[in-house]
Amino acid sequence: MANGGETISDPITDPDLPPPPVVAMRRRILDACARRDIEALRIPIDSNEVRPMFERGARRPPGEDPIERLKALSFDGRGLEIIMLLHAVLRQSFVVVTSGPTRMFVWPAFALKPPLTPTSDERLSMLACVRFADLGRPNPGGSMPPPMRVGIGADGVWHYFWSGLAPADSH
């Protein structure tokens, strides 16, 4: 599918298919999630060249603690919701978004390529990737609220973890 000069692959289910740096970053994030402690996310965040974005268009104040930002975004205020969302998102299939020479690996695939008529199991998987605060916001053109999504560049840099709105928005 072409979208403004981009191509989006069909959903891919093999988690070992991306380049090794992408597989390694995904593994670091999942390992941190397995500890069920938001502080464990410092490892993948700090291993990045730059800090990932956690909100679209948000300006990061100098010295902002990314863990405190994640706690603030989490419904429970402690980050447990964020950990569970990250885990759920990275356990889904993914797509590869190619724009010129740049490739971004985006989880979950349904954030950019939603099924036309999701099964009840697919709906449950989709809802597992939605922030509690977004449950009341319908996805433009669809009935599901916007899922969270993760973007990791082909070089293994974790670019973002934010609420995805529609296939036409930027990545």
Give the pLDDT of residue 116: 85
* Residue 136, CA atoms < 13 Å, CB-side half-sphere: 1
Would you say residue 83 lies in a domain? yes
Would you say residue 131 lies in a domain? yes
- 123 by DSSP, 3-state: which? helix
Q: Which domain holds residue 93?
A: 2-163
Report the b/e string of 10-38 with b at 16+ CB within 10 A. ebeeebeebeeebbebbebbeebbeeeeb
The region of weakest confidence among 15-19, 48-52, 139-143 is 139-143
Rounded CA separation 53/60 (Å) = 9
Give the pLDDT of residue 137: 67
Would you say residue 137 lies in a domain? yes
Would you say residue 132 lies in a domain? yes
The residues with which 103 forms a beta bridge, in sequence order, are 98
- 72 by DSSP, 3-state: which? helix
Amino acid letter, 44: P
pLDDT at 168 over 70: no
Residue 171 — pLDDT band, cuts 50, 70, 90? very low
Would you say residue 51 lies in a domain? yes
How many domains is the chain partitioned into structurally? 1
Would you say residue 171 lies in a domain? no
Would you say residue 169 lies in a domain? no
Give the pLDDT of residue 5: 84
The region of weakest confidence among 33-47, 51-65, 112-126, 146-160 is 51-65
Would you say residue 37 lies in a domain? yes
DSSP label at residue 112: T
Structural tokens at position 119: 């099964």
- 81 by DSSP, 3-state: which? helix
